[in-house]
Each structure stands twice: as C-alpha cells, then as structure tokens.
C-alpha cells in the first residue's frame, strides 16, 4: 500500500490544482444531491402537514421550491463540471506518471536499461501505467469526496435533526463501507495480481506470435503458438469473470448496507417524531438524505476491486520513477588527485590506459575481472580473448563508463573517464555492444543516429569501409527501408550497419564487441581493414571470438 500512496503523492505534487478542483466538485455534487433529496422530502412532508393542519395557505412554498430548483440545476451543472475536472485531473495524472517513468528509465544505469527490452518489459510498463490511471479517478477522489460529504451531512443532520440519527447514518455508512472494502480487498488483491499476470502473458505471447511468425511457420510451430496464446487469453478471461463476480457481490453488499441504514433512519425518525423530539418533516429530511448519501459509498465497489492491481502495479513501477535520478556514471573510487576536477574542461583524449581494473559481475559482488592493466595507443589495435563469459564485454562496458568499477582507474590520456563530461566522453569513446538496435526507418536514418550532421558523401564512405555500399546501391541506396529490429537486413548486414554508425562518430577509442559476427572470413577481414583505414588514428579494442579478429590485432591480451 505504501508504494501506491507514494505514486499518488507524486501525482498530487505535480497536479495539485487539477486534483483539488476535481475533489471539490465531487464534494459539491454529493452535497447538493443529499441536500436536494433531503429538502424535497422535508418540503413534501411539511406541505402535507400544513395542509392537514389547515394552514396550507400560510405555508411558504416559494423559497423551498426555489431551493429545490436551484439544487437540481446546480447539481446537474456540478456533475458536468465534476466529470470534466476529474477526467482532466486523471489525464494530467497520467501525463505526470508517464513523464516520471520516462525520466526514471532514461536516468537508469546501463545494466538496468538493457533489461528493459522485449515485449514483456514494454507490456509491463504500459499496462502498469494504464492500471494506475484509476488511482485518482476510481480510488482517491471518490473516497475523499464521499468522506467529506459524509462529514458535512453528519454536521448538518446533527444541527437540524439530532445526534442519534446523524451518528447512525455516519457510522452505518462508514463502518459498513469499510467492512465491504476490507472483505472485497482480501478476495481481489491476489486475484487482481493474477489477472494482470495473465494479461502480461497474453500480450507477450501474442506479440511473439506476430513478430516470430516466419520462424514459427518454418518450424511448424504456428498452431502451437496460437494455442498457447488462446490458452493465455482464456485464463485471463476466466480470472476477469471471477473478479467481476466478486465486484458484483460487493456491489450487492453496498446496496444492502444502504437499505439497512435507510431503514434504520426511517425507524429512528418515526420514533423521535412520535415522541415529539422532532417533527415529521425533519424525520423525512433525514430519511431522504440517507437515500442520497448512499451514492457516497457506491464507488467503494470499483475501488475495492481495482486496488489490488493498482498496488501491484505501483510496487513494480516505483523503482522506475525514483525521485532521485540515477546517474549514468558508475560508482568508483575517487580520482588519485585531491585537486578539484573541472569535467567541462577535461580533454578526454589520448591513449586508453587501464590500471589494475577490477569489476564485479552485474548485480552481484562476485569478482569478474581482477586487476586488469592495459594500454592501447592511438592507431593501435588490441584484441581481448578468453573463454566465453570471462568478462570481455563487461570490460568494454566499464571503459565506456556503463558498468561500475570496483577498483582501479581508467584513463583517456591523463583524464579519468569518470571525470569526463558526458558529451565529451561519448564523443571520444564509441562502443559497438553485442546487441545493437536497428530501428525502423531508412539506412540514412540509421546512420544519422550516430552522426546527425554527416552528408551523404560521408555516409557512402563509411558504407564502403564496412563493405555495405554495393549492397545498398543494389537496393534503394540510402533510402533503403529497414523494418523494426532491423527487419529487411541479414544479421551480418545489420551488424555492419551498426558498426558504420559507431565509426561515423570518429572516436579516439573504438570498442568493438564481436564486430564481424555473421560474416564470412574474407568479408570480415575486409571490414576490419576498412575500419582501420577509416579511423587510422583511433585506438581499437576488440572483444575477439574469431581468428580473423585476432590476426588483425597488433597485440592480444588473454583474460583468464
């Protein structure tokens, strides 16, 4: 529950005005509804009593009838304003929530970002945001408005009718609604979580069915995947029906509470009227006000049914919207020098130097690489070799300041990478990771992601260097269309395109993780030679898995 309140506190902090206006109009609607029905009951009963007493001609019908009309028209207007303002508050809350999630994700560390890929992560984020849109509209605003209306009605009825009736109405509705809310929450909390999990499973399987349709057809698994998708949907619908059944039972319980409280109010009113404590018009006012106040607890049915899913969504989403943004720079020991470093003026250029660098495995305290020292000079190519999983890719990430360093220093020239301004570091060091994204668009768009200001001549030069120019000329040149996730390109073509994108930055240090994956040996050799010709003075550090990559290096460092 604490995560849910933290989410609401974030929404309230950023949309305080919209939320306050929505809550105010909600209270006005409920208050006017109770006043309208109560005044109508009093007016009818008082007019009848005056007629029976023979003083009907002296009874003032104009002011009560005017108040009835005012409350009726005012309630309709207030209801319209309440709908507009509460939905405005909800849309603004969603805006704040989405922006906060985006900020949190963009400020996350690299190891966190690389886990936010694929259909499941995307579905979780979007579905959680959609689930939390009810925090204000279906939970907080209706409950607060109903509570405020009950308190106002309690004070008014205590003043007009008396404490016994006012206390009965307030305690009956409050305790009854609280009991129904608690009982419904016990049943729907786990049910909501299971329903959301089933929704995630269905979405993920359906997206996999669409995205991998060619592979599924090739291996004869299309029917099996369709069956899995339909089973996930059937499970989701079954859980949703169960949840709806619980919500309907809670709705019936709320109606029973309203009937019991109204009947009790009627009995108390008749009893007090017979004893002469109050008049029949005030007893009628209390009864009809009770009927109107039943509207204040009706939203509890929907709130109790949805709060379990909201709590689970808030718990999952809260780390993504941490109030303190996480820096991209990893946590490492302080620089050797005690003098303050001006990161804006740090040159971030020169030879790459590693001094006794120790890194841990991501998310653990296990040492992955211990006391690695290395120097890569300008124009030099060094290959990192070793068994798979030894930490070659992690070391490249650490050099690019995308993985924390447990001990040691990494320098560019005489400047630690931790002292480099972000823009200068990214301009000086370029990384081609194992998994590089190719977004939908044209070849020109894909290359401009690395260097937006390059003209077509420069783009063709880098395509020549990676042996892609002839392939693209045979299609539609730089306007060749690329589908989502590189659809339309072979694995080797996509790899070379992302390599060309990194080369366009003309970095001082180029970090390559399996740069020739998917290429035959002759093409791989020409690509590596093209990289060196395109970047003659760059320091190249390659996580090498193939013999051709090792043979092109000036030196080889074996990690063990």
Q: What is the CATH number of the domain that holds 224?
A: 1.20.1560.10
Give the residue-averaged pLDDT of 542-558.
Answer: 88
Give the residue-averaged pLDDT of 537-554.
Answer: 89
413 in the same domain as 267: no
Per DSSP, 353 falls in state E
Specify the pLDDT at position 53: 65
Give the residue-averaged pLDDT of 408-434.
Answer: 85
Q: Is residue 330 part of a domain?
A: no
Which residues make beta-bridge pairs with 385? 558
Q: Does pLDDT of 45 surpass 80? A: yes
Specify the pLDDT at position 232: 92
* CA atoms within 13 A of residue 258's CA, in its CB half-sphere: 18
> Cβ atoms within 10 A of the Cβ of 436, count?
16
H or E segment to which residue 143 belongs: helix 141-160
305 in the same domain as 215: yes
Specify the pLDDT at position 276: 87
241 in the same domain as 155: yes
Per DSSP, 516 falls in state T
Give the integer Cα–Cα distance in Å for 125 and 222.
27
If we measure between CA atoms, which residue out of 171, 161, 148 comes closest to residue 287?
A: 161
Do the beta carbons of residue 42 and residue 284 sit within 8 Å? yes
The CATH number of whichever domain residue 473 belongs to comes to 3.40.50.300
Give the residue-averaged pLDDT of 305-312.
Answer: 75
297 in the same domain as 433: no
Q: Is residue 52 part of a domain?
A: yes
383 in the same domain as 237: no
Do the beta carbons of residue 496 and residue 524 sit within 8 Å? no
Q: Is residue 340 part of a domain?
A: no
Give the integer Cα–Cα distance in Å for 44 and 178.
34
Q: Which of 321, 342, 369 is the last residue of a domain?
A: 321
Do the beta carbons of residue 461 and residue 531 sit within 8 Å? no
At 424-475, the pLDDT tens digits run 888 888 888 887 778 888 888 888 888 878 888 989 999 999 998 888 888 8
Q: Is residue 234 part of a domain?
A: yes
102 in the same domain as 169: yes
At 447-456, the pLDDT tens digits run 888 887 888 8
Domain count, the chain: 2
525 conformational bin, left if phi > 0, alpha if psi -120 to 50, beta if neither: alpha
39 conformational bin, left if phi > 0, alpha if psi -120 to 50, beta if neither: alpha
If we measure between CA atoms, which residue out of 194, 192, 195, 247 comes closest to residue 4?
A: 192
Reading the block at residue 395, the tokens are 């070391």
Specify the pLDDT at position 7: 78
* Domain of 259, in residue numbers: 2-321
Give the integer Cα–Cα distance in Å for 547 and 491.
19
Q: Is residue 346 part of a domain?
A: no
Q: Which of 272, 304, 321 is the last residue of a domain?
A: 321
Give the residue-averaged pLDDT of 115-139.
Answer: 71
- Tell me the three state secondary structure of residue 337: coil
144 in the same domain as 293: yes
Confidence bin at 334 (pLDDT 50/70/90): very low
Give the residue-averaged pLDDT of 491-519.
Answer: 88
Give the integer Cα–Cα distance in Å for 162 and 149.
18
312 in the same domain as 365: no
Global confidence as pTM: 0.62
Which residues make beta-bridge pairs with 276? none
Write down how long the chain is: 560
240 in the same domain as 388: no
Give the integer Cα–Cα distance in Å for 240 and 248.
12
At 58-114, the pLDDT tens digits run 667 788 888 888 888 988 888 888 888 878 877 887 777 778 777 777 776 666 666
Q: Is residue 341 part of a domain?
A: no
Q: Which of 303, 321, 339 is the last residue of a domain?
A: 321
98 in the same domain as 229: yes
Q: Is residue 98 part of a domain?
A: yes
238 in the same domain as 124: yes
Q: What percent of the chain has pLDDT over 90?
A: 16
85 in the same domain as 129: yes
Specify the pLDDT at position 87: 81
Do the beta carbons of residue 503 and residue 535 sit within 8 Å? yes
Residues 6+ apart with CB under 8 A from 149: 27, 30, 31, 34, 293, 296
Q: Is residue 332 part of a domain?
A: no
- Tell me the three state secondary structure of residue 488: coil
């Amino acid at each position: 529950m604490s995560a849910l309140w933290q989410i609401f506190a974030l929404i309230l902090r950023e949309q305080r005005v919209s939320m306050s206006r929505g809550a105010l109009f909600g209270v006005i609607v409920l208050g006017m509804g109770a006043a309208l029905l109560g005044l109508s009951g009093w007016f009818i009963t008082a007019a009848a009593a005056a007629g029976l007493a023979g003083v009907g001609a002296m009874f003032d019908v104009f002011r009560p009838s005017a108040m009835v009309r005012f409350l009726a028209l005012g309630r309709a207007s207030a209801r319209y304003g309440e709908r507009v303002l509460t939905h405005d508050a909800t849309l603004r809350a969603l805006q704040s929530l989405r922006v906060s999630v985006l900020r949190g994700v963009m400020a996350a560390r690299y190891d966190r970002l690389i886990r936010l890929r694929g259909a499941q992560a995307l579905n979780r984020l979007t579905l959680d945001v959609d689930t939390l849109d009810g925090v204000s509209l279906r939970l907080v605003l209706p409950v607060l408005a109903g509570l405020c209306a009950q308190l106002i009605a309690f004070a008014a009825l205590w003043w007009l009718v008396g404490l016994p009736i006012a206390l009965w109405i307030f305690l009956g509705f409050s305790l009854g609604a609280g009991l129904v809310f608690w009982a419904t929450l016990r049943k729907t909390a786990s049910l909501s979580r299971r329903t959301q999990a089933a929704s995630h499973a269905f979405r993920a399987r359906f997206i996999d069915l669409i995205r991998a349709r060619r592979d599924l057809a090739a291996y004869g698994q299309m029917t099996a995947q369709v069956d899995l998708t339909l089973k996930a949907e059937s499970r989701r619908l079954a859980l949703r029906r169960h949840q709806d059944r619980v919500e309907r039972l809670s709705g019936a319980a709320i109606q029973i509470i309203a009937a019991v409280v109204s009947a009790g109010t009627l009995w108390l009113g008749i009893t007090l009227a017979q004893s002469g404590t109050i008049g029949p018009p005030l007893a009628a006012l209390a009864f009809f006000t009770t009927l109107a106040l039943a509207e204040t607890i009706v939203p509890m049915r929907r709130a109790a049914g949805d709060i379990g899913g909201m709590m689970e969504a808030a718990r999952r989403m809260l780390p993504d919207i941490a109030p303190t943004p996480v820096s991209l720079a990893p946590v490492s020991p302080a620089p050797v020098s005690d003098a303050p470093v001006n990161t804006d003026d740090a040159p971030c250029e020169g030879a790459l130097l590693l001094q006794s660098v120790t890194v841990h495995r991501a998310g653990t305290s296990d040492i992955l690489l211990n006391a690695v020292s290395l120097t890569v000079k300008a124009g030099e190519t060094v290959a990192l070799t070793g068994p798979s999983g030894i930490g070659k890719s992690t070391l490249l990430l650490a050099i690019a300041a995308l993985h924390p360093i447990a001990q040691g220093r990494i320098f560019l020239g005489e400047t630690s990478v931790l002292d480099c301004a972000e823009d200068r570091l990214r301009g000086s060091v370029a990384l081609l990771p194992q998994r590089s994204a190719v977004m939908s668009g044209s070849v020109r768009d894909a290359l401009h992601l690395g260097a937006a200001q390059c003209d077509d001549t420069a783009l063709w030069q880098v395509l020549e260097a990676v042996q892609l120019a002839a392939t693209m000329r045979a299609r539609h040149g730089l306007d060749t269309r690329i589908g989502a996730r590189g659809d339309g390109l072979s694995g080797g073509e996509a790899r070379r395109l992302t390599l060309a994108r990194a080369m366009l930055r003309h970095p001082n240090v180029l970090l390559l993780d399996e740069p020739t994956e998917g290429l035959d040996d002759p093409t791989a050799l020409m690509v590596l030679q093209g990289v060196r010709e395109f970047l003659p003075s760059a320091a190249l550090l390659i996580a090498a898995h193939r013999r051709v990559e090792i043979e092109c290096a000036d030196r080889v460092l074996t990690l063990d």
